[in-house]
């Protein structure tokens, strides 16, 4: 993963806000992952167009005073390993 | 009476749109008296059910049956499901799916299709379903892939096909399945009526697991394989429905709301119809959905069992079917005083393959059989 890597949601996954869970969730065939607050904030910004650097910058604007680069890249790697995200083909 | 804790949301809505089905599978989990429940919900009624369940917090929606493609409003229901924010799953035999309908379902926003196969051979597939559908299912599987859906192939396992697990997995790989569910038969409905013929031997089961594990190691991540173990060979019960009235809500073709697809068989329980009640009341307050919530209802050995929070005493329907009393421990548990009712059957499960040529005696899921079994049930309820 580099600054320029662009992630998108893997096929068959849907990301949405669930009022009943008071959380963002990922839906997939016959299942659901309830996301913690920061995971939700990161995935909300994964749009298949923004590179990692833009996601980090946007989060640092939303939550000023924190260095989020490491947290964000670690979570994105985790989400990729889980199969939730894939790298958008160049 | 102590205050009941408010139940969480029903995460799963299973919409059994119709009991009509072109197949006649001998292991069908539909109630054997399905012919008694004829008056299907209208499109408008289903749309209301979808809205109300979504308001309660349901996210996963299964369109099931019978064969859900028998309903020509499936596309309209799928579109509303998408609009409401469901993740929708079509659980189908494939019969009735064609290019026009799959394109319309995709357009409507259906998320996922699961196609069932009966076996890897035409002979057994067609024998078990009493139809000629094998080639059609192969075409449908390819169509599902071609339309960009993940291909989920489901095969119900039992004594007549479990020795073909290797070939079934080869077929799944050839059809480029993304997920394969090898689901051992659960003994309800027609499967219960055919239990003696369908239960595999322990040796068959162990071989099938070995073959599956070897295949899984070979194919890796390309195809995910789920092997659902038959609970008759377990020592502890399944956490059925993750607990009664906990996450699962089923609405039958004629509008009865159930905490599991089989619960309708339980005597002395009145399950509410969505025609007369809203789902909020049904889920939170109806006596049927509260009957086995929590653990107040439990008897020994469940009541004092340290594992009761894990498996909730197993399955109420299985307890009723096998022991005659739904509040008993699920008899697959080896702590149950009725456990020998299960081990007697597994001990009888004969070794060796039953072949089509030997014409095993099986009850097919068809209207005539259903009417006959309904009449029997009316005379002798258990």
Quote ipTM for the complex. Answer: 0.89
Chain A neighbors of B57, CB-CB under 8 A: 18-21
Q: With respect to residue B168, please indicate whether it lies within any of the assigned structural domains.
A: yes
Check pLDDT > 80 for residue B233: yes
pLDDT digits (tens, 9 = 90+) for B150-168: 889 999 999 989 999 999 9
Q: Which residues 150-189 of chain B have a CB within 8 Å of chain A?
A: 150, 152, 179
Residue B2 covered by a domain: no
CATH of the domain at B363: 3.20.20.70
By percentage, how much of chain B surpasses pLDDT 70? 95
Residue B380 CB neighbours (<10 A): 6
Average pLDDT, chain B: 92
- Please compute Rg for chain B using Cα positions: 20
Give the neighbor-by-neighbor strand order of the sheet with A14-18. Answer: A14-18, A23-28, A31-34
Of B56, B59, B112, the CB nearest to A12: B112
Is residue B200 within 8 Å of residue B165, measured between CB atoms? no
Cβ proximity of B45 and B275 under 8 Å: yes
Q: Is residue B382 in some structural domain?
A: no
In a domain, B303, yes or no: yes
For residues B186 and B184, give the distance between their C-alpha atoms in angstroms, rounded to a whole number: 6
pLDDT in the model for residue B2: 46
Residue B3 counted as domain residue: no
- Quick one: pLDDT at residue B70? 97
At residue A78, the pLDDT reads 95
Three-class SS string for chain A? CCCCCEEEECCCCEEEEECCCCEEEEEECCEEEECCHHHHHHHHCCCCCCEHHHHHHHHHHHCCCCCCHHHHHHHHHHHHHCCCEEECCC
Please tell me the least confidently modeled range out of B68-72, B103-107, B370-374: B370-374
Region of residue B148 (left: phi > 0; alpha: psi -120 to 50; beta: else): left
Contact A25 B59 (CB under 8 A): yes
Q: Is the pLDDT of residue B298 over 50?
A: yes
Q: Is residue B212 a contact partner of residue B227, using CB atoms and an 8 Å limit?
A: yes
Q: B115, B154 in Cβ contact below 8 A?
A: yes
| Number of structural domains chain B divides into | 1
Among B22-26, B169-173, B354-358, which range has the highest average pLDDT? Answer: B169-173
Q: Report, as an integer, the average pLDDT of B23-45.
A: 92
pLDDT above 60 for A90: yes
CB B189 within 8 A of CB B262: yes
Nearest to B152 among A20, A25, A29 (CB): A29
- How far is the C-alpha of B120 from the C-alpha of B166, rounded, in Å? 9
pLDDT at res. B376: 83
B60 interfacial to chain A (CB closer than 8 Å): yes
For A32, the closest of B60, B89, B179 (CB atoms) is B60
| Residue B4 located in a structural domain | no
Q: Residues of B with CB below 8 A from A10's CB?
A: none
- Residue B132: is its pLDDT beyond 90? no
Inside any domain, residue B257: yes
Using pLDDT thresholds of 50, 70 and 90, give the confidence band for residue B121. Answer: confident
Residue B325 — pLDDT band, cuts 50, 70, 90?
very high
B249 versus B374: the higher-pLDDT residue is: B249
Q: Do A11 and B11 touch (CB under 8 A)?
A: no
Residue range B84-91: mean pLDDT, rounded:
97
Which residue range is the domain that position B329 belongs to? Answer: 10-283+292-377
CA distance B61 to chain A (A): 8
B296 within 8 A of B306, measured Cβ to Cβ = no
Closest CA to A16 of B82, B15, B77: B82
pLDDT for A72 equals 95
Whether B4 shows a pLDDT value over 70: the answer reads: no
Can you read off the two tokens belonging to residue B286? 């109806």
Q: What is the pLDDT of residue B377?
A: 77
Is residue B352 pLDDT above 60, yes or no? Answer: no
The residues in B 188-247 lying below 8 A from A, measured between CB atoms, are none
Q: Do B56 and A20 touch (CB under 8 A)?
A: yes
Report strand pairing: A23-28 vs A31-34: antiparallel
Question: CB A29 to CB B85 under 8 A?
Answer: no
Rounded to a whole number of angstroms, the distance from the CA of B378 to the nearest CA of chain A is 37
Q: Is residue B358 part of a domain?
A: yes
The answer, yes or no, to whether residue B351 has pLDDT greater than 80, is no
pLDDT at B173 over 50: yes
CA gap B25, B28 in Å, rounded:
5
What integer is the mean pLDDT of A7-35? 93
Task: Tell whether the model's pLDDT for residue B198 goes beyond 60.
Answer: yes
Contact B89 A28 (CB under 8 A): no
Answer whether residue B356 shows pLDDT above 60.
no
| Average pLDDT value for residue range B342-355 | 74
The residue that leads in pLDDT, B189 or B73, is: B73
Average pLDDT over residues B334-342: 97
pLDDT of residue B128: 83
In angstroms, the Cα distances linking B185 to A78, B49, B162, B168, B376 are 36, 29, 10, 16, 24
């Amino acid at each position: 993963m580099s600054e320029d890597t662009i992630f998108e949601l893997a096929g068959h996954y849907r990301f949405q806000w669930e009022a009943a869970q008071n959380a963002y969730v990922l839906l997939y065939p016959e299942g659901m992952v309830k996301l913690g607050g920061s995971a939700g904030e990161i995935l909300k910004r994964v749009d298949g167009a923004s590179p990692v650097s833009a996601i980090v910058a946007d989060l640092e604007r939303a939550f000023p005073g924190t260095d989020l680069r490491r947290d964000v890249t670690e979570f994105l790697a985790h989400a990729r390993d889980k199969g939730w995200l894939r790298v958008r083909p160049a | 009476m102590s205050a009941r804790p408010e139940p969480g949301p029903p995460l799963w809505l299973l919409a059994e749109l119709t009991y009509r089905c072109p197949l006649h599978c001998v292991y069908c989990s539909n109630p054997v008296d399905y012919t008694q429940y004829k008056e299907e919900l209208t499109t408008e009624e289903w749309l209301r059910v979808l809205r109300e369940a979504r308001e309660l917090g349901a996210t996963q929606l299964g369109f099931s049956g019978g064969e859900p493609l028998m309903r020509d409003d499936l596309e309209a229901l799928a579109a509303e499901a998408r609009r409401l924010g469901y993740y929708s799953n079509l659980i189908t035999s494939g019969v009735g799916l064609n290019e026009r309908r799959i394109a319309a379902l995709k357009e409507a926003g259906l998320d996922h299709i699961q196609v069932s196969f009966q076996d890897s051979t035409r002979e057994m597939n067609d024998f078990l379903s009493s139809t000629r559908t094998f080639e059609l299912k192969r075409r449908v599987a390819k169509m599902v892939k071609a339309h960009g859906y993940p291909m989920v192939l489901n095969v119900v396992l039992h004594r007549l096909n479990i020795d073909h697990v290797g070939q079934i997995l080869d077929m799944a790989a050839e059809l480029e399945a993304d997920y394969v569910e090898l689901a051992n038969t659960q003994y309800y409905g027609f499967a219960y009526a055919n239990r003696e013929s369908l239960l595999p031997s322990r040796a068959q089961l162990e071989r099938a697991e070995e073959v599956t594990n070897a295949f899984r190691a070979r194919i890796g991540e390309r195809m995910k394989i789920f092997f659902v173990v038959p609970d008759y060979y377990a020592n502890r019960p399944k956490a059925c429905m993750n607990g009664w009235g906990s996450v699962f809500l089923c609405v039958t073709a004629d509008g009865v709301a159930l905490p599991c697809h089989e619960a309708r068989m339980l005597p002395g329980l009145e399950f509410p119809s969505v025609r007369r009640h809203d789902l909020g009341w049904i889920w939170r307050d109806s006596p049927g959905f509260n009957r086995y919530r929590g653990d107040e209802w439990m008897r020994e050995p469940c009541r004092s069992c340290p594992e009761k929070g894990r498996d909730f005493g197993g399955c109420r329907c299985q307890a009723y079917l096998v022991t005659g009393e739904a509040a008993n421990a699920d008899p697959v548990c080896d702590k149950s005083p009725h456990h020998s009712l299960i081990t007697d059957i597994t001990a009888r499960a004969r070794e060796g393959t039953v072949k089509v040529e030997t014409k095993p005696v099986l009850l097919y899921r068809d209207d005539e059989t259903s009417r006959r079994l309904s009449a029997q049930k009316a005379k002798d309820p258990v």
